[in-house]
Structure formats: structure tokens, C-alpha cells
Amino acid sequence: MGKGSAKSFLLHLHPRLIPEQSAKFSFTFCFGGIAFFLFIIEALSGFLLMLHYQPSVLNAYASIQKITHIYPYGWVIRNIHYWAGQAMVFAVLFHMMRVFWTGSYSDPRQFNWVIGSVCLVLTLLVDFTGYLLIWDDRALWAWTIARNVVEIIPLVGHTMASVIFGPASDFNVALARLYSWHVVILPATLLILTGLHFWKIRKDGGISVPL
Ligand code: HEM
């Protein structure tokens, strides 16, 4: 690394001066920050749950019962994962309302509004797929309804449903598909997009100022 680039890297790490008004808690309520904090909690508690959850028709429900009633502090980890997940949905929604209320979606931040909207959809999808992983009666029927909704899309519905949900004839394959969405694909995409979201905040001149 050259001297110039080392210096600009250090300057980059250095906290940047931001307008006092946009740093005020009563402007952002830190809802975006809270959403990201909850995402980290989800990743950590989810990792611990992964050590015992078994994504197969025979074992999914039973492994969750063991996590809740047998393994030490399993119920604590499961409750943290469940409640932080629900709280994250609310934090993202409140964050979106704040951005709308303060008019911060307008030029030059319109692209970040779009990235944020995709983050909201992903957050709802991770929440939904997590609820299906329990694989009790409710989850099975919710999965069936969701699959049918995709299947009735004209022309591409059947192909899309089998790619997204896996076969309706083999629930073990379907559950493995669901598990990959919940544990890898959706959270990894969310992480990449939140990274882009934060980078864009900086590129758009930092957090907006009150109108
Ligand atoms: C996983 C979801 C999300 C995370 C983690 C996140 C995180 C953040 C953070 C930390 C900020 C800095 C200011 C603040 O905390 O309020 C921010 C700003 C912003 N977010 Fe999000 N966000 C998410 C979803 C959304 C959604 C759903 C929208 C809108 C559809 C959105 C649009 C914006 C915009 C336009 C800004 C700039 C606001 C300003 O300059 O005042 N974000 N986001």
C-alpha cells in the first residue's frame, strides 16, 4: 500500500463530521440502526439454533421441542431469535415511516429508498420462512398456500414454484430448500444490500437534514 492510499484509508476510518440536526435521536429514532442491530442478534442466535435444528420431516418439529425443553438455555436462544425477528420487522417498518415522514426518500436518496424497499421484502421473507421451519400443521398449510399462490402465476407459475419451494411430493427436499432460503440465501442477500444501503447513505451526503 502506497503512502497516499494508506493516508486516505486512515482518513476513511476517521469519524466524519455530520450535521448536528441529523445526528439527533429525535430525527431518526435510530430505527435503521436498531433494525441492523436486531439483524446481528438474529445471525448470532440463529447460528446457535443451527447447531441443533434438523431440517427433515421426521426431525424438524422434534428437534425444536428438544431445543425448547431439553438443551440448556435452548429456550432462551429460541425466544431471543423469535422476538428479535418480530422486533426487526417492526423496526424496519418504523424506519421506513420515519424516512417517509421526514421526506428523506427524495432526490438524491431515491435509490436508497428502493434498496430499502427490497430490504423490507427480504426481512418479511426471512420471517415467513423461519415460521415455516417449525414444520407443524400450521407451517405445512402456510407452505401449501404460499406454493399454490406462486403456482397460479400464468405460464411460469409451476416452474417458479418448483424452484422456490421444491417438490410438493417430497417434503424432505422441500424443507431443505426452505432451510437454505432462511439460513443462507435471504440473510446473505440482506447483508449485501444493507452494506450497499450504508455505502449509499455516505455517497448521498450522509443522513438527510430536517426539511
Ligand atoms: C433491513 C432493513 C434496513 C436497515 C438495516 C436500514 C438501515 C438504515 C440506517 C442505519 C440508516 C441511517 C439512518 C437511520 O438509522 O434512520 C438508514 C437510512 C435510510 N434508509 Fe434504511 N434500512 C433498512 C430498510 C429501509 C427501508 C425499508 C427503506 C425505505 C423503503 C429505507 C430507506 C432509507 C433511506 C432513504 C435512508 C436515508 C435517510 C436519511 O438520509 O434521512 N431503509 N437505513
Q: What is the pLDDT of residues 18-59, one digit of tens each?
A: 888 888 999 999 999 999 999 999 999 999 999 999 999 999
What does 143-158 look like in DSSP terms, one character per residue?
Answer: HHHHHHHHHTSTTTHH
User: Amino acid identity, residue 79?
Assistant: N
- Residue 109 CA, closest ligand 1 atom number: 35
The CA distance from 151 to 162, in Å, is 9
- Is the bond into 108 cis (omega within 30 degrees of 0)? yes
The CA distance from 199 to 194, in Å, is 9
Kindly state if the Cβ of 113 falls inside 6 Å of ligand 1: yes
Ligand 1 centroid–CA 73 distance in Å is: 34
Looking at residue 105, the DSSP 8-state letter turns out to be T
* CA nearest ligand 1 atom 14, residue: 32
Kindly state if the Cβ of 129 falls inside 6 Å of ligand 1: no
Kindly state if the Cβ of 197 falls inside 6 Å of ligand 1: yes
Residue 15 has pLDDT above 80, yes or no: no
Q: How confident is the model at residue 6 (pLDDT cuts 50, 70, 90)?
A: confident
Q: What is the pLDDT of residues 158-208, one digit of tens each?
A: 999 999 999 999 999 999 999 999 999 999 999 999 999 999 999 999 999
* Global model pTM greater than 0.75: yes
Kindly state if the Cβ of 36 falls inside 6 Å of ligand 1: yes
Ligand 1 centroid–CA 32 distance in Å is: 5
Looking at residue 185, the DSSP 8-state letter turns out to be I
Kindly state if the Cβ of 33 falls inside 6 Å of ligand 1: yes
Q: What is the pLDDT of residues 87-99, one digit of tens each?
A: 999 999 999 999 9
- Residue 22 CA, closest ligand 1 atom number: 41
Ligand 1 centroid–CA 129 distance in Å is: 23
For the chain, list the domains and their CATH numbers: 29-203 (1.20.810.10)
CA-to-CA separations, 149 to 27, 123, 160, 169, in angstroms, rounded: 40, 20, 11, 17
The CA distance from 190 to 173, in Å, is 24
